[in-house]
């Protein structure tokens, strides 16, 4: 299938360059010079696979254009990538908050442009396929009162693996978090159905990282303040992606609230205690444990004792006491330290 890209830029040279790169790589390109032209183009019922949108344009800038695209139910799901020559992290933060999935710097580097475009188009199609197949499976599940048993777990796992592969240092993170979360749920006395649901939610808790630049995710050192603020956008981005699957709204819970703290000092909403959904409270413990027991570019897996101490220290502040104590039980039973990134 030939990918169709809409390029929006007031500079004719940029349009010509982008179009040439896309066409050379067997992609169909449509070019317009303004946000207003882009909206008219989309109003004609044409739905490109991806929109490359310049930020700085006269009359209607990229942010306003994106807001108009996102406000239309017919275009809300089209992935939008901002084109910019800025080095301003504030613009990137604002763009991600507005719903952009990535940024591409100008002047264009052909290899970078094509890598980003292909990745985002593939992820968007995977998301759409996930939604389509979840809808199909849910119709069967509702009819037979077996919703979770009939969900296509492999589709969720495929999307999870795609997101996980963005981070070359912690590949396998989502699977481990899902497994730890399921075990915590079972030990807490939750039903098998609930535990399976939490497993699927755990698989997709970091899906919002689709919208975080690879350069930040795979940075070879600790993040600075601006980069950290950008990564903090991933819960909201994940929620925006997964809320588009109405037949299984629980999928968005882990993505949205897994960085909330029991004492209310977390993000993105700063909710506390039992106001945090149970699924997110469970995943928060599992996620923090795996973060400590996975490699980073700047450190190796932490010793088991250190990870245990941090979980214990967070009881009642960072973590729900019930689920943190279950995590401690699991750690204490893991005599040979198997629960870590290998």
Q: What is the pLDDT of residues 106-157, one digit of tens each?
A: 888 899 889 888 888 888 888 777 777 777 776 665 665 555 444 556 667 7
At 1 the pLDDT is 59
283 or 59, greater pLDDT? 283
pLDDT digits (tens, 9 = 90+) for 144-191: 555 544 455 666 777 777 777 676 666 789 999 999 999 999 999 999
Q: Please tell me the number of Cα atoms within 13 Å of 125 on its side-chain side.
A: 13
Domain segments of the chain as ranges:
4-120, 152-333
- Of the candidates 47, 41, 44, 33, which has an alpha carbon nearest to the alpha carbon of residue 3? 47
The torsion angle over the Cα atoms of residues 19, 21, 26 and 32, rounded to 10 degrees, is: -10
Confidence bin at 100 (pLDDT 50/70/90): confident
Confidence bin at 92 (pLDDT 50/70/90): confident
CB-based contacts of 313, cutoff 8 Å, min separation 6: none
Active site residue 209: yes
* CA–CA distance, 323 with 181 (Å, rounded to integer): 9
Q: Minimum mean pLDDT among 6-15, 185-194, 208-217: which range? A: 208-217
**Separation of first and last alpha carbons in the chain:** 38
* CB atoms near residue 228 (< 10 Å): 11
At 314 the pLDDT is 98
Catalytic residue, candidates 186, 209, 232, 342: 209
At 15 the pLDDT is 94
Helix (H) or strand (E) holding 304: helix 304-313
The mean pLDDT of the chain is 87
CB of 328 closer than 8 Å to CB of 311: yes
CB-based contacts of 274, cutoff 8 Å, min separation 6: none
Name the CATH superfamily housing domain 4-120. Response regulator (3.40.50.2300)
- Residues 139, 141, 147, 151: is their CA dihedral positive or negative? negative
For the chain, how many helices (H) and strands (E)?
16, 5
| Segment 34-38 long-range contacts (CB within 8 Å, at least 24 positions apart) | 34/8, 34/10, 34/58, 34/59, 34/60, 35/8, 35/59, 35/60, 35/61, 35/62, 35/64, 35/65, 35/68, 36/60, 37/8, 38/6, 38/8, 38/65, 38/69
Q: Minimum mean pLDDT among 4-13, 166-175, 203-212, 237-246: which range? A: 166-175
Q: Minimum mean pLDDT among 14-28, 86-100, 183-197, 254-268: which range? A: 86-100
pLDDT digits (tens, 9 = 90+) for 265-291: 999 999 999 999 999 999 999 999 999
Same fold, 4-120 and 152-333: no
Place of tokens 């101490």: 309
CB of 284 closer than 8 Å to CB of 260: yes
Q: Is 153 exposed, middle or buried (0-12, 13-18, 19+ CB in 10 A)?
A: middle
Fold that domain 152-333 belongs to in CATH: Hypothetical protein af1432 (1.10.3210)
CB of 211 closer than 8 Å to CB of 237: yes
Token reading at 79? 């992935």
At 179 the pLDDT is 96
246 or 250, greater pLDDT? 250
Confidence bin at 60 (pLDDT 50/70/90): very high
């Amino acid at each position: 299938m030939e990918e169709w890209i809409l390029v929006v830029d007031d500079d004719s040279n940029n349009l010509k360059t982008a179009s040439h790169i896309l066409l050379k790589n067997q992609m169909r390109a449509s070019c317009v010079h303004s946000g207003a032209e882009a909206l008219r183009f989309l109003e004609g019922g044409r739905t490109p696979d991806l929109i490359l949108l310049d930020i700085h344009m006269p009359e209607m800038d990229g942010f306003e254009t994106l807001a108009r695209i996102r406000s239309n139910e017919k275009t809300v799901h089209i992935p939008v990538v901002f084109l910019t020559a800025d080095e301003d992290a504030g613009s990137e933060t604002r763009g991600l908050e507005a719903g952009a999935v990535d940024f591409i710097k100008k002047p264009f580097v052909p290899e970078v442009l094509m890598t980003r475009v292909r990745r985002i188009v593939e992820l968007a199609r995977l998301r759409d396929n996930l939604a389509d197949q979840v809808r199909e499976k849910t119709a069967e599940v509702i009819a037979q009162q077996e919703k979770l048993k009939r969900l296509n777990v492999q589709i969720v796992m495929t999307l999870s693996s795609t997101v996980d592969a963005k981070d070359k240092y912690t590949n396998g993170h989502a699977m481990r978090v899902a497994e730890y979360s399921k075990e915590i749920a079972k030990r807490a006395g939750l039903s098998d159905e609930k535990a399976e649901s939490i497993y699927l939610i755990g698989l997709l808790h970091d899906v919002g990282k689709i919208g975080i630049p690879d350069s930040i995710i795979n940075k070879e050192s600790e993040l600075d303040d601006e980069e950290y603020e950008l990564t903090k956008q991933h819960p909201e981005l994940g929620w925006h992606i997964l809320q588009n699957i109405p037949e299984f709204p629980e999928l968005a819970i882990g993505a949205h609230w897994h960085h909330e703290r029991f004492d209310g000092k977390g993000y993105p909403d700063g909710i506390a205690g039992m106001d945090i959904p149970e699924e997110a409270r469970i995943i928060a413990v599992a996620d923090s444990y795996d973060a400590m027991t996975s490699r980073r570019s700047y450190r190796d897996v932490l010793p088991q004792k250190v990870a245990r101490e941090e979980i214990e220290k967070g009881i009642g502040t960072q973590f729900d006491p019930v689920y943190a104590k279950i995590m401690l039980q699991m750690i204490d039973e893991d005599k040979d330290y198997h629960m870590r990134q290998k």
